[in-house]
Structure 1
Amino acid sequence: MMVDYPQIASSWLKQFGNFLESGDVASTVSCIHAGGYLRDILVFTWNNRCLHGHSKTAAYLGDTLAAAAIAEVKPDLRAGLAPEYGPLTDHLPLRAVSGGFTFTCAVGLGRGYFSLVYANGEWKALVVMLKLEDIRGHEEIAWSDVRTGRREDIEANPQVLIIGGGQTGLNVAARFKRMGINSLVVETNHRIGDNWRKRYPTLALHSPRKMNSMLYQSYPRTWPVFTPRDKMAGCLEQYVQSQDLVVWTNSRPLPHPTYDVAAKHWTVVVDRAGERVTLTPAHIVVAAGVLGAPRMPNIRDKALFCGTTLHSSEYHGGKSFAGKRVVVVGAGNTAADLSQDLTFHGARSVTMVQRSGTWVVSGSSMRILMERMYPEELEVDVCDLMTMARPLELMRRVDKATEAQMMEQEKETHRGLREAGFNITSGKGFLVLFYEKHSGFWLDFGCAELIRSGQVTVKQGVEIARFTEDSVVFTDGSSLEADVVVFATSYESICDTMRGVFGDSIMDQVGPVWGVDGEGELRGCYRPTGHPGLWFAAGEFYQSRAFSKQLVGGFSLLCS
C-alpha cells in the first residue's frame, strides 16, 4: 500500500486540533484508536496521566478539555518530529505514521507526539501524547539572558532545596535555573561526583552516551560509548561550573524539617560542613535516587565469620581480593559487574548466589535498541519527546508480543547460563523490570561467558542461612568455604531512608516512590507525592531531563 504519510499526518492533526480547540470531547476521542492511549503530562491536570481506551479517555477529557483551552495546534517539523512512516517498534510488524506538534493551552505552551495506525479504512492514533513545555511567565530563557543574581541571595533564600547532587539533582537544578527559579543543591559528599568515585573502578554506564547526556550539555563525539566511572564523576563536577549552579557539598538536611501550611514553606536546618544554616524554601526536591540506604540481610552467626563481609556499595575494586574465595550474594547488574571484576583481578574463586530468576540480555543487543531510540543525528530533547510518547502499558504489550523473538536472539547466551545452573526468567522484559522493581535484570558485558566457562560458579535457589568461622551455610543445608562475602542485595526504598530526615508523620503522607500506577505512570516521581511542597526526582538521565520541567508545573505557579 502506498502511504502518503505527510498528507495523512497533516489531515489527522488538523482534524484533531480543531476538535481539541472546539472542546468537542466525543470528536476528539474519535481520532484515537479504540484500543489507543492518550498520555497527558500536565496539560489537562497538574499530574501525569495515561488513559487507555475510549471510555476512560472520554471521561477524563469531559472533566478537563474545556478548561485546558487548547489552541494553535500546528505540526512540529524539526528533524525527527516531521511525519514519518515505519515500524512502531523494532520487533513488531505494525507500521505507523508518527509526528510531532505544538500547541498553546491555558497555562502555557505545549508539545505533542502521535503515532497513527490504519484500521477499518481509517487512520487513528494508537498513541497521542500532550505535554506542557513552558508555563506562561516561567518560560526557559536563553543562557545569555539568564539573570546571574547574587549567589548570596540564592543561598540565603532558595525557592527550592534539592537534596542530592548526583546527575538527577544537577539536571533538576539546571532546569530550574533556566526557568528563573532559584534552587540550592545540598550534597553529602565532599565533592560532586563522589557518588561515582566511591564505587568500584571498573564501573561504567551500561547505556550509550547519547542517552546519558546532561541537560543543555551533550558529550563530544570522542566521548566513550559507555561512560566510565571517573569520567562521569568529572563530568558532573564540571557541569556545576558550566551551568553556574549553586551547590553546597559536605552538607545535609538535619531532622526534622517542618512545613507551614498557611505560609506554604518549609523550615529546614542544613548542616553545611559543620555549620547549621536555617532555610525556608517553598519546596524540597529529594533527588537522592530511587534507592535509599544499603540493604544488608541479617544472617545468623555473622560475628563468627573470620573473613570479610561488605555491601556492594562498599566494594572499591577486586584488587585487594586477589587469591580469595569470594561469594557474591545477588544476581542483578551489580552482582554481574562485581563477579566479572573479581575474576579479572584474580580471585581464587567467585560464586554468585542467585535466589530467584534474572532476565539477561546482551549489552550489544541493548546498545542497538538504545542507539535507535537516541540516534546521533537527532537532538536529545527530540529523542526524549518521542520516548515520552510511548506509554509503559503499550511497551509491556510490545515486550510480551516480542518475547519469543528476544529469547531466540539471546538463546546462546541463555543456553550457556542455564547449563551452568543459572535461572533465566521470562515473561517480563527490561523496561517492565526497571520501572516496576528497579531490579531483576542485567545487561551482559561478559559475565555470562565467565559463568558458562566455569570461572564464575552459580549457587541457585538458595540463600545464606548462617555463617561459620570460614564458610557460609545455605538454606538447603550445603556449605561453601569463603574468605569474602559481598552482598549485592540492593537498597531500601528512598521513602524508608527519608523517614530519618522528615519523620514518620510527613512520610506517612507520601505514597510509593517508583513502580507504576494503574495507568503505567511512575509513582511518586516528578508528580504530587501526597504532601505539599515535597517532591521526588529519580530514575535514569532521561527521566530527570524530560520530567524536571514537569516538576515546575506541579509547583503550580511557584513564583507568583
Structure 2
Amino acid sequence: MGGKYAWLDCKFSFTTANPATECSGFLSLVPTERGKWKIWILRTILEQITGHGDVDSLVPCLQNGSTLSEGATLDAHETTNGSQNGLTNGHTGLDIGTAPNESSMYDTYVAIIGGGQSGLSTGGRLQALGVPYVILEQHSSVGDAWKTRYTSARLHTARKYSHLPFDRTFGPSYPEYLGKEDLAEGPRAWAAKYGIKIWLLTTVHSGYWDNQTQTYTLNIRRADIESQVTAKHVVMATGAGSQTPVMPVFPNRERYRGLVLHSAQYVSANYWKGKSGIVIGTANTGYDVASDMQEAGWSRIWFKGAELISNTSLFLTALYNEKTPTEVSDRIMFSNPVSIARLTSTEVFHTMARAQPERWDALERAGFKVNPYGDIQDAINIRLGGHYIDVGTSAKISKGLIMVKSDSPIASYTGDGLLFADGTEVKADVIVFATGFIGNLKQHVKQLFGDEVAERAGDCFGLNEGEILGAFKPTQQPGLWYIGGALGNQSQPVHLEDEG
C-alpha cells in the first residue's frame, strides 16, 4: 500500500455446533524483524445459520428481469408483484395470500420503511432467508428516490461499487458514473427480477410499540386508503443523509429579491440561463449544481464553501471490479474495524494527493481552501458528506469558470445577494444551499414512535470508540434496526456481519 506498507490476508472458514453456523474470517499477517509472521487483525464473519437459507443467493422469479408476465411490463405505477397504482394484484387490500377488503390490518415479521437501495437490499436478504417482510415505499415506482432528484444527479463513485445483492445490478452497458436514470432503472429491474415485495404509494405517518406483545403497529396510508401493518421488527431505511434538508438561517432573508433553494428543491440550471448564482456548500451536490450553472451559460457563478477532501474514486477499483465477486469485495471492505479503515484509506488518499500537487495548488490560487489530506472516514461516518470525489468540476474552478468566495463567513442577505463579514457583497439572482441533510435516523424514529422509543434506539451514524453508532446492528430498542449509508453498504449482508 502506497509502496510503504504490506500485509498478507489469509481467508479461512469454520463452523460452530451450538448454534449450527457457517462462518468465515480473515487473518491479516505482518512480517516481524525476525522473519516470522504476526497476526495484525483477526476478523470473523457469520455467513449463514445452517439450514436457514443462503443470504447470498436468491433465485430470480422472472427471466431477464424485464417482464412480470408474458407481454406485461413494469411501468411507473406498478409494483414488482404485478400490482398497479400501489395496489397488490389490483386490490385495495393487502398482499398476496391475504383477503383483500376484509381487513385493514396486515401482519408480517419485518416491516421495512423505505424502498431505496438499502430497503430493497434488506428485503432481498430476508427473502433469501425465507423471512416474511414487506417494504413500504412512498414513491410511485421503484427507483424514484433517485429519479426524482435534480437532472444532473449522478454517482461520484464507480458503478461496480453500487450493485444490489445476488448479481451485478449495473453491468458493462451502464456508464462508469451512474446517472439518476441509471440508478432508477437498475433497482427497478432488480426488484422485478427477484419479485421483491414492495408496496408503492405507501406512507407511514405514525406508529407505536407494544412492550407487552413486543410488536410494532404502523399506521399507513396506501393509495389513499388508511390501514395498519403489525410487525415484530421494523427496519428504518428512510434515507440517512438524504431526506431532511439542513438549511442555514441568515438575517434579512425577507430583503432578498431573488430565489432561494435548497438542493432538495433544485432541478436544473437550464430554467435560469443567463442568470447569476451562488452555491453554498462544496460537497458532491454543490459541485454538481455549480457545474450545471456553468454549462447552462450562467453569467456568474460563485462557490461559497470551506475546506474539502477532493480525490478520485480510483481507490475503490482495487476491490470492486469486474473480476472480484461483490460479496467477496464486501467482506474485505466492511469487515475491518473503522480504526483500521481509517489507517488504510488515509494512506491511499494521501499517497494519491501527494502525486498531484499542482491540482491542489491550482485550486488554492483560485481561492478555494482545499484539504487533500483530511480524514475520509470522518466525512463518511460522522458528517455523512462534506467531501467531493472529483469527476471534473475542480478543473472548472481552477480555470476561473466558477468563482470562489471562501475567505469570509456569510453575515446576512441583501436585496440583491449576500453580504459577507468582510464587507463584501456578492450579487446573485439565485442562491442554492447545497448544505446537506440530517443524517441521524433517530429523528425519523422519534417522529413515528415518540421520544421513549427513539431514546432507546439511540443515534444512527457517528462513531463511538471507533465503531459506527446504530447502523447495521441491533439497537437497545427491541426489533428496531437502522440501515443506510453509501451504496456499497447496501450490497452486503449487514445483519450477518460480525467484527472480531
How high is the TM-score relative to the length of structure 1?
0.77
Instruction: In structure 2, list runs of 5 or more residues that go unmatched.
Output: 62-80, 82-94, 100-104
Give yes or no for contact 2:215–2:230 (8 Å, CA) kept in 1: yes
Give yes or no for contact 1:151–1:246 (8 Å, CA) kept in 2: no
Give the alignment of 1:306-455 within 5 angstroms: 306-354=257-305, 356-361=306-311, 363=312, 366-367=313-314, 369-401=315-347, 405-425=351-371, 427-455=373-401
Kindly indicate whether residue 430 of structure 2 is the aligned counterpart of residue 517 of structure 1. Answer: no
CA distance in 2, matches of 1:403, 1:232: 27
Kindly indicate whether residue 205 of structure 2 is the aligned counterpart of residue 259 of structure 1. Answer: no
Question: Counterpart of 1:372 in 2: which secondary structure?
Answer: coil
Give yes or no for contact 1:101–1:113 (8 Å, CA) kept in 2: yes
Select which of 452, 455, 467 maps to 1:508: 455
Give yes or no for contact 2:310–2:387 (8 Å, CA) kept in 1: yes
* Structure 1 stretch displaced more, 93-102 or 235-244: 93-102
Give yes or no for contact 1:110–1:133 (8 Å, CA) kept in 2: yes
CA distance in 1, matches of 2:211, 2:51: 25
CA distance in 2, matches of 1:404, 1:550: 32
Select which of 378, 385, 409 maps to 1:463: 409
What letter is aligned with 1:329? I
CA distance in 1, matches of 2:108, 2:60: 20
| Bigger helix fraction | 1
Give yes or no for contact 1:293–1:494 (8 Å, CA) kept in 2: no
* Structure 1 stretch displaced more, 499-508 or 208-217: 499-508
Give the alignment of 1:233-252 within 5 angstroms: 233-252=184-203
Q: CA RMSD in A?
A: 2.2
Give yes or no for contact 1:249–1:272 (8 Å, CA) kept in 2: yes
Q: Pick closer, same or farther for the CA change 1:223–1:401 going to 2, 3 Å.
A: closer
Kindly indicate whether residue 102 of structure 2 is the aligned counterpart of residue 151 of structure 1. Answer: no
Select which of 480, 496, 517 maps to 2:443: 496
Q: CA-to-partner distance for each residue in 1:233-287, whole Å, 9 max, x for gaps? A: 11122222111111111211122x2212232211111111221111110010011
Give yes or no for contact 1:343–1:350 (8 Å, CA) kept in 2: yes
> How far 1:339 sits from its partner (Å)?
0.6
Q: How many residues align?
A: 454
> How far 1:143 sits from its partner (Å)?
4.1
Give yes or no for contact 2:58–2:194 (8 Å, CA) kept in 1: no
Task: Give the corresponding residue for 1:477.
Answer: 423
Q: CA-to-partner distance for each residue in 1:512-542, whole Å, 9 max, x for gaps? A: 2112221x32211011222111110011232
Give yes or no for contact 1:205–1:226 (8 Å, CA) kept in 2: yes
Kindly, what percent of the aligned residue pairs are identical?
Answer: 25
CA distance in 1, matches of 2:249, 2:59: 55
> How far 1:316 sits from its partner (Å)?
0.8
Q: Pick closer, same or farther for the CA change 1:526–1:113 going to 2, 3 Å.
A: same
Select which of 17, 22, 38 maps to 1:109: 22
Give the alignment of 1:153-232 within 5 angstroms: 153=98, 156-218=106-168, 219-232=170-183
Q: Pick closer, same or farther for the CA change 1:97–1:209 going to 2, 3 Å.
A: same
CA distance in 1, matches of 2:401, 2:347: 35
Q: CA-to-partner distance for each residue in 1:102-148, whole Å, 9 max, x for gaps? A: 111233111112221111432122122101111234222764599x9
CA distance in 1, matches of 2:146, 2:58: 28
* Structure 1 stretch displaced more, 441-450 or 116-125: 116-125
Q: Pick closer, same or farther for the CA change 1:433–1:500 going to 2, 3 Å.
A: same
Kindly indicate whether residue 31 of structure 2 is the aligned counterpart of residue 118 of structure 1. Answer: yes
Q: CA-to-partner distance for each residue in 1:370-395, whole Å, 9 max, x for gaps? A: 11111211111111111124332123
Give yes or no for contact 2:462–2:469 (8 Å, CA) kept in 1: yes
Give yes or no for contact 1:353–1:462 (8 Å, CA) kept in 2: no
Higher relative contact order (CA 8 A, sep 6+): 2
* Structure 1 stretch displaced more, 531-540 or 405-414: 405-414
* Structure 1 stretch displaced more, 507-516 or 224-233: 507-516
CA distance in 2, matches of 1:403, 1:177: 38
Task: Give the corresponding residue for 1:99.
Answer: 10
What letter is aligned with 1:459? K
Question: Counterpart of 1:313 in 2: which secondary structure?
Answer: coil
What letter is aligned with 1:117? V
CA distance in 2, matches of 1:441, 1:144: 38
CA distance in 2, matches of 1:548, 1:434: 17
How high is the TM-score relative to the length of structure 2?
0.86
Question: Counterpart of 2:328 in 1: which secondary structure?
Answer: helix
Instruction: In structure 1, list runs of 5 or more residues that go unmatched.
Output: 1-88, 554-560
Select which of 250, 256, 266 maps to 1:305: 256
CA distance in 1, matches of 2:301, 2:244: 26
Give yes or no for contact 1:133–1:549 (8 Å, CA) kept in 2: no
CA distance in 2, matches of 1:202, 1:513: 29
